[in-house]
Copies of this chain bind each other. A is one copy, B any other.
């Protein structure tokens, strides 16, 4: 990213946008929406001469009213359903009407392919700065699976809007119930919608969010674009390791209840030859299993990388025959508290075992050949 332009706040270049989209696709663990489509949305907004400003903690007053913006729905639908570009603005204006005042900054909710991009598009449309943080440091499929929610910023009131102006502003007794209402509205709205919620002050966002993740995504994107080979530069940056290498020999992916759910079977190649691994996903990759043994699970990060290019692969583009590496990365410490694990650990996704941090399973430092 470039330095200050005019104000103290940094302004993003088109190259920054490409890097953030690529980096967020890697942090998005297979979900968060298609990064290419997300970038097109932002670039479409920017052609009309607008700017995107990124705010650090000391760029804004502590009591600046902030709302988080994100897309909601199944990535398999998101890749098919055309955006009008107005849905986020519809949601923002409805929420402002409900809370009775305008917001002065936007926060991303997750670093995922399109969900890292569309808050930037909304920032450009409204000329509001976007905070350099997010509520996951990765991507997760459900509304309550956000550090904002875990650390004291309720999701509601939250507005969900589609491309034809249909909008619902919702309040719920807890964020799990908000997830259920928002998901039902999203399904009626065609399976994909834009949401604006988690209204709070900038100070609370800095306290409850994972800081610096737009910058981290941009750094990852730069490595993916420039470094050859990629992995020696990438792995230290994300504290990651390659935990499996194989071909997709079976793929079961369906769009159900507003999510993309399924699993991929990986037949090992290279040093994993003769082994089989199973990757389970609900929009995002939830766990990698060898036999019944969980190798990596939520909230730690699992991302498939294309074997040749090391480009991150999102769940909606996976196909039989893809040759991949499985990249594991430790989650941010905010996810490792008991309160956070109750929301986004293995048991929150229906598994009957406790979270084991990935470092404990893996032989860290393993570094396969890279093209």
A235: CB under 8 A from chain B? no
**Contact status B189-A166, CB under 8 Å:** no
Q: How far is the CA of A187 from the CA of B167 in the complex (A)?
A: 18
Residues of A in contact (CB 8 Å), total: 22
Q: Which residue of B lies closest to A183 (CB)?
A: B188
**Contact status B168-A169, CB under 8 Å:** yes
**Contact status A173-B184, CB under 8 Å:** no
In the complex, chain B residues whose CB is within 8 Å of the CB of A171: 94, 165-168
A98: CB under 8 A from chain B? yes
A8: CB under 8 A from chain B? no
Question: Which listed residue (B94, B168, B173, B180) contacts A181, Cβ 8 A?
Answer: B168
In the complex, chain B residues whose CB is within 8 Å of the CB of A180: 188
A177: CB under 8 A from chain B? yes
CB distance from A171 to the nearest CB of B (A): 5
CB distance from A174 to the nearest CB of B (A): 9
**Contact status B177-A184, CB under 8 Å:** no
Chain A residues 143-172 with CB under 8 Å of chain B are: 164-172
Chain A residues 94-122 with CB under 8 Å of chain B are: 94, 97-98, 100
Q: Which residue of B lies closest to A158 (CB)?
A: B168
Q: Which residue of B lies closest to A181 (CB)?
A: B188
Q: How far is the CA of A173 from the CA of B167 in the complex (A)?
A: 9
CB distance from A243 to the nearest CB of B (A): 38
CB distance from A156 to the nearest CB of B (A): 9
Chain A residues 4-34 with CB under 8 Å of chain B are: none
Chain A residues 227-270 with CB under 8 Å of chain B are: none
A139: CB under 8 A from chain B? no
Q: How far is the CA of A155 from the CA of B164 in the complex (A)?
A: 17
CB distance from A323 to the nearest CB of B (A): 41
Q: How far is the CA of A188 from the CA of B178 in the complex (A)?
A: 10
A185: CB under 8 A from chain B? yes
**Contact status A164-B169, CB under 8 Å:** no
15 A-B pairs with CB atoms under 8 Å apart are: A94-B98, A97-B98, A98-B169, A100-B100, A164-B173, A164-B177, A165-B173, A166-B171, A166-B173, A167-B170, A168-B168, A169-B169, A169-B170, A184-B185, A184-B188
